[in-house]
Amino acid sequence: MGNLRGKYAIVGVGETKVGKLPGIGTLTLHVEACKKAIDDAGLKVSEIDGLLTNQPLHDPFRTYSVVVAHSMGIKPDYSLDLGLGGATPVAMAQHAAMAIDAGLATAVVCVHARNQASLHLLPKQGMGVTRAYHGGVRDGCEDFEDPYGVMSGPGHHSFAAARHMHEFGTTSKQLGAVAVATRKHANMNPSATMYSKKLTLEDHQKSRMIIEPLRLPDCSLMSDGGAAFVVTSAERARNLKKKPVYIMGMGNHQPFASVMDAETLTTLGGAVSSKMAYKMAGLGPKDMDFAQIYDCFTITTLITLEDYGFCKKGEGGAFVEGGRIEIGGELPVNTHGGLLSHAHLEGMTHVTEAVKQLRGGDVEPERQVKDAEVGVVSGHGGYASTHASLVLSNRPS
Amino acid sequence: MSTQSQYKYTKPLPEMDPEDRPYWQSAKEHALKVQRCDDCGAWNFPPRPLCRKCQSAKLIWTKVSGRGHVYSSTTQHHPILPSYTKDDLPYNVSIVELEEGVRVISNVVGCPPDQVKIGMPVEIVYDDVTDQVTLPKYKPRAN
């Protein structure tokens, strides 16, 4: 397979309402998101021959991509359920491009929806917390974590945050700067869960501790909702309804399987994955007009910004301060409000937001990054152990 | 008897995969063992079917010193399951790096959670939470 730079494009995006949506099924959210993305692209459902899903862990299905496809009336030639946790949506764009390049499909819908906010599973007595929160699906190391009263996501990221503070002197206020910047963007986005809730650094510092050093606003939301996007060839994209957003670079790297066998917790998969994506794109961090950085916790944003070369390792704390990552700043980050303040759909809306920013005019004017031409999207998941990167541009070369 | 004590202990217990069982068996015997590669000498944890350094299948469950230091540490303030009550909070969760080089997640006990610091020397204590299960935990030790 040759270089895919600029050969494939995202041509349609769709988002459902997000927040707490009791009574709406996971499948309904998937179908709504898919339909919106296909309509947005100006394609007919019959023109879709590929579909990628990310198993909703709160409502797990077997062969989920096939279930969703047939709920849409699609008989896919190419369909898979991908499982890289929060790195999945970014990886989906990569796999869609690869499948089309391989001749397996011509137009692929990538979708994720979940009911994490309202389909809250009540843990059975004695059941491990990781399995309880993940619909009984195993993470692989829960036997060595659950008995000690630690939940995978918050636990792993608090370990990373504590190490970052220890190694580089990063502070809780600097984590707070990430939460505040992200919230400001959500306050400009009427579809964000936290649209009408302001957050100051003082609020952050007074908020309750969840798992040290992470306070409540350092942790992402629990959300219901869905989002989807459509990938097709650049050639075909140019004849469709919307301005194409080209996939210029991609990378993927999973450096460990458990925080217990990670060499370090302060450099993650993004360090390798971003280099791969920049190399393919022929671009670097200085070329990026914005970054949509997976932000399950504020520390994830901070470490990923370092790993992506926006500042040196250890300098992420200072980098995120002073409005640098806000719209109007040097590098706007998570312009929709991120997982922290928009919604947690495992990073699907980081992709759809990047596409909207690069089309121009698809978001509220105050939220639009001026003259945005190139942006980077990160996906991160598992035990802080999976990572995928995407460089997108509205220029094919 | 065993059912009675298990009934009382309502917090999560390891489900024990075949790969993991020797670890928990050694904990129950208060002599913790970790996989060590007979070919290259590397210590492996969490348990794996092959040595992650050299892919040898000759992994021998070998007794560890039980001494190490805190690699990273956190204090849990939020009840993550109904079986954790206010009396349990806050509590420490740490990654402990044993002298052998392997890292394990556990609780550092025997001191207030806010006194647990990265780099702190610790040693193993065995918490027999049920008749069947012993959880290896760690306490501060003099350096």
At A115 the pLDDT is 87
Cβ pair B81:A129 closer than 8 A: yes
Average pLDDT, chain A: 94
Set of chain A residues whose Cβ sits within 8 Å of the Cβ of B83:
125-126
Distance from CA of A77 to the nearest CA of B (A): 36
At A130 the pLDDT is 66
Q: What is the dihedral of CA A122, A128, A132, A135, to 10 degrees?
A: -140
Phi/psi of residue B76, each to 5°? Answer: -85, 125
Tokens representing A46 are 């019959």
* pLDDT tens by residue, A83-131: 999 999 999 999 999 999 999 999 999 999 998 887 655 555 455 666 6
At A132 the pLDDT is 65
Interface of B with A (CB under 8 A): 10-17, 20, 45-46, 52, 71-78, 80-84, 88, 91, 93, 95, 102-107, 118, 129, 133, 135, 137
For chain A, percent of residues with pLDDT exceeding 70: 95
Q: Which helix (H) or strand (E) holds A14?
A: strand A8-15
Q: Where are the beta strands (DSSP E) in A240-313?
A: 245-252, 290-292
Domains of chain A and CATH, by start: 8-119+221-393 (3.40.47.10)
For chain A, percent of residues with pLDDT exceeding 90: 87
Confidence at B3, pLDDT banded by 50, 70, 90: very low
Q: Give me the mean pLDDT over the B70-74 stretch.
A: 98
Residues B5-30, buried b or exposed e (16+ Cβ, 10 A)? ebeeeebbbbeeeeebebbbebbbee
- The DSSP bridge partners found for residue A211 are A214, B76
Tell me how far apart the alpha carbons of residues B124 and B140 are, in angstroms, rounded to a whole number: 9
* pLDDT tens by residue, A255-304: 999 999 999 999 999 999 999 999 999 999 999 999 999 999 999 999 99
Quick check: B5 pLDDT over 60?
A: no
Least CB–CB distance from A259: residue in B20, B82, B95: B95
Domains of chain B and CATH, by start: 15-63 (no CATH), 65-143 (2.40.50)
**Count, residues in chain B:** 143
- The DSSP bridge partners found for residue A19 are A224
Cβ pair A129:B106 closer than 8 A: no
The nearest alpha carbon in chain A to B97 belongs to: A260
Nearest one of B93, B59, B54 to B76, comparing CA atoms: B93
Distance from CA of B97 to the nearest CA of A (A): 9
* pLDDT tens by residue, A151-184: 878 999 999 999 999 999 999 999 999 999 999 9
Cβ pair A143:B20 closer than 8 A: yes
Confidence at B8, pLDDT banded by 50, 70, 90: confident
Cβ pair A148:B10 closer than 8 A: no
At B2 the pLDDT is 43
Confidence at B118, pLDDT banded by 50, 70, 90: very high
Tell me how far apart the alpha carbons of residues A135 and A120 are, in angstroms, rounded to a whole number: 9
At B43 the pLDDT is 97
The nearest alpha carbon in chain A to B98 belongs to: A260
Q: Give me the mean pLDDT over the A317-335 stretch.
A: 98
Tell me how far apart the alpha carbons of residues A342 and A321 are, in angstroms, rounded to a whole number: 21
Distance from CA of B57 to the nearest CA of A (A): 18
Confidence at A366, pLDDT banded by 50, 70, 90: very high
ipTM: 0.94
Cβ pair A123:B84 closer than 8 A: no
The nearest alpha carbon in chain A to B52 belongs to: A261
Nearest one of B82, B80, B43 to B61, comparing CA atoms: B43
Nearest one of A99, A45, A100, A52 to A79, comparing CA atoms: A52
